[in-house]
Chains A and B, each alone.
Chain A
């Protein structure tokens, strides 16, 4: 399988995500610069990494969402390519319109950087298929703008369609309905604030993030 990690000026988790992709898929991803207007041929999985793209100018993810490469990412997502946005990547995906809602300043104002407990809500997507429904997992967060907001109708729709992938088991940042990660309607785009790529080997203090990537590999094999 072929994967790519998008790199914006100010991304700082692109290499972490690349390591996770390489360890679990067996192949190093292509690192694609934000100014590129096309992705390499035949990409099955695109990672939009964490960090502070464009210094979080205007709004977190706002500038990155309008960069040339994100047009290509949106087209790939529409074709069914897996797109995985972590932290700033989640902010970029909402700003691009690939996922509904917005990520606002944490309700407690503080930057939150620690391990948190998440509940797995949906196990129907490739991203979450390797988890048990209702399972509690531990994944680190590190963000200032992780407070998920959407209007009530959107939240009801997300819940009704089973598109909430992960919820915080505690109130971490004021997110509506404790939402930590959501899927698009087709289930091939996931955005989440916590960092599963930082929890994939015992030296990280846990491996709860690993199954997300394993699920994607399996999802691609079944699809092929």
Chain B
């Protein structure tokens, strides 16, 4: 069983990395990009039967810093 964890900066938290990427896209001539936010994707290979509560606890305790980040769990069959 696999799970994908998407970690993103909370709205309103400045993302200088996203801004730099945005700037680089503009430099390449791509018009119409309003904003870029950078985040992380973590893929976990989990033992079958790992509970949702455990995956959530992993996010809370380590994978995301909930002071500045949100996370979303996507289970992959």
Please name all residues of chain A whose beta carbon is closer than 8 Å to the beta carbon of B63 when the two chains form the complex. Answer: 58
Which of A95, A106, A147, A174 makes the CB contact (< 8 A) with B65? A95
Please name all residues of chain B whose beta carbon is closer than 8 Å to the beta carbon of A66 when the two chains form the complex. Answer: 61-62
The reply to whether B16 and A109 form a contact with Cβ atoms under 8 Å apart is: yes
Which of A94, A100, A107 makes the CB contact (< 8 A) with B14? A107
The reply to whether A102 and B67 form a contact with Cβ atoms under 8 Å apart is: yes
B76 to chain A, nearest CB (A): 21
Contact-residue size bin, chain B (C-beta under 8 Å from the other chain): 10 to 19
Please name all residues of chain B whose beta carbon is closer than 8 Å to the beta carbon of A62 when the two chains form the complex. Answer: 62, 65
Apart from A101-B67, A102-B68, A105-B16: 20 A-B pairs, beta carbons within 8 A: A58-B62, A94-B67, A95-B65, A100-B67, A102-B65, A102-B67, A104-B13, A104-B14, A104-B68, A107-B14, A107-B16, A109-B16, A109-B17, A109-B20, A147-B14, A147-B16, A149-B14, A150-B67, A174-B14, A174-B16
Q: B interface vs A, CB < 8 Å?
A: 13-14, 16-17, 19-20, 61-63, 65, 67-68
Q: Which residue of A lies closest to B68 (CB)?
A: A102
Please name all residues of chain A whose beta carbon is closer than 8 Å to the beta carbon of B67 when the two chains form the complex. Answer: 94, 100-102, 149-150
A106 to B20 CA separation, bound complex (whole angstroms): 12
A148 to B13 CA separation, bound complex (whole angstroms): 11
Q: Which residue of A lies closest to B19 (CB)?
A: A109
A150 to B68 CA separation, bound complex (whole angstroms): 8
